[in-house]
Structure 1
């Protein structure tokens, strides 16, 4: 016989209901936990997206700066090639030829002017590299410490040209003073083998604003002292030329034949040679004035102002070289 107990049935139904309730509660807790987790993941994903976008913008900005520097480097290389072609043409006009089968370095060492021209072309290439780095640092808003390193490198590069010119003057001072190693437009503004410091200071006036009153006063005094030194050197050079002309004019003609006249002629020519020896000193003083002016200007200005000044000077000289290229390439009737 099967006996059914009401108590047993009731207990079983209650247990089932309790289990169902616990299952439902567990599902709700699980859903709530899952929802919180989804929101946390979504928030984390948004932060990653923002970081990625910021990184992409920074990468794009750096890419634009690199592209601009590359274009500027290409332009500098083009100007350098034009300058080298002009130097080669001038060398040919002066009767300087280098054999294709010979040792070019030996031929260059045999001629001081040509040796200097080769070294100057290398210096110009290195100068363009320094200026490209400086321009990139300025456009990228580099820190003062980083910018100071680049500025010091560009200033040191100018010191190298003074050393090159000093060595070149020992071989051929006339080549240095005539500026045959520069382009025609640069030679138009040449003063004792280089630029006038006072003119460069005038050029920078519109590129360094804003300046403090003390900076303006210091730059004004520097320009005045540079002008006075330039005038003194120019007067000394004029006096040397006049004295040299008088010495040559007073020499007796060598064709007169007497031993006394020959001795007088040789004595006058020796005196003229001695006076010509002071030309190297004039060139050295002019380059020393240019070097000191740049150094004093660097001390007056801030790091960023010095960077803008170096860029302005380089751009001015580059425009002169570009003007020469356009002039030489102009159509002729």
Structure 2
């Protein structure tokens, strides 16, 4: 089986393709936020069946993002860890190329204050399980990062721009392929944890609680997006001396 290599045209195509998808995805996300807020305004007048349908569609919307993100990572995982489609401000919130799953529980503490005792116990168990998996993935990413500073990566860096000889091209590809595979694996596990955490939280909450939680989570992401774009616009103006 031949190795996958990352070329500039392929990477550029992946970026353009995902950016087009992401722009449309954000528009749909804004529409979902409007729908979630509308349901919150009607409160308990909405039928549980209608709320559950909306919850399923919103979670499916996020799942669509992770599926498209996975396709980009399969082409070039390094792009996903340094995504040009997010602003630097947005990326400051990231943990393994996305929001940390535990953020859900911090939001829950301030947003959903009507959990039953059973819901509280289940949520606490899920919180501890999620934290343990986060630590495991963080340790795995640290091991990957350490490997970049260890032989044979250091030796490859020392060679600089010297033309490869005597099979060095093959050696370089071998090392990069190992690194790429490791990063794909930890990214896939992190995205799976994000998805699974959201689904399990949804199972614990009532329909009304779910709508409240999803509305807040969606609003937070969009707000961070807007702030990031504003900061970038201000930076560009400042760089021009205006």
TM superposition score category, shorter chain reference: 0.7 to 0.9
CA 1:267 to 1:295, structure 2 compared with 1: closer, same or farther past 3 Å?
Answer: same
**How far apart, in 2, do the equivalents of 1:133 and 1:217 lie?**
30
Contact 1:131 1:154 in 2 (8 A): no
Aligned residues: 225
Aligned to 2:5: none
Give the TM-score normalised by the residue count of structure 1: 0.62
**How far apart, in 1, do the equivalents of 2:85 and 2:162 lie?**
41
Aligned to 1:250: 155
Aligned residue runs from structure 1 range 45-194, under 5 A = 111-141=13-43, 142-194=46-98
CA 1:218 to 1:240, structure 2 compared with 1: closer, same or farther past 3 Å?
Answer: same
The one of 235, 241, 252 equivalent to 2:145 is 241
The one of 246, 263, 270 equivalent to 2:166 is 263
**How far apart, in 2, do the equivalents of 1:254 and 1:121 lie?**
38
RCO (CA 8 Å, sep 6+): is it higher in 1 or 2? 2
Contact 2:33 2:219 in 1 (8 A): no
- Quote how far apart the aligned CAs of 1:313 are: 0.5
Instruction: Mark the runs of 5 or more structure 1 residues left unpaired by the alignment.
Output: 1-95, 97-106
Aligned to 1:9: none
- Quote how far apart the aligned CAs of 1:170 are: 1.5
Aligned to 1:22: none
Give the TM-score normalised by the residue count of structure 2: 0.83
> 1:174-225: per-residue Cα shift (whole Å, max 9, x none)?
1211232223221011111110001222122111111112211222221222
Query: What RMSD over aligned residues (CA atoms) do the two structures have, in Å?
Result: 2.6
**How far apart, in 2, do the equivalents of 1:110 and 1:243 lie?**
27
**How far apart, in 2, do the equivalents of 1:256 and 1:198 lie?**
45
- Quote how far apart the aligned CAs of 1:256 are: 8.6
> 1:141-175: per-residue Cα shift (whole Å, max 9, x none)?
31222222111111111111111111111222112
- Higher-Rg structure is 1
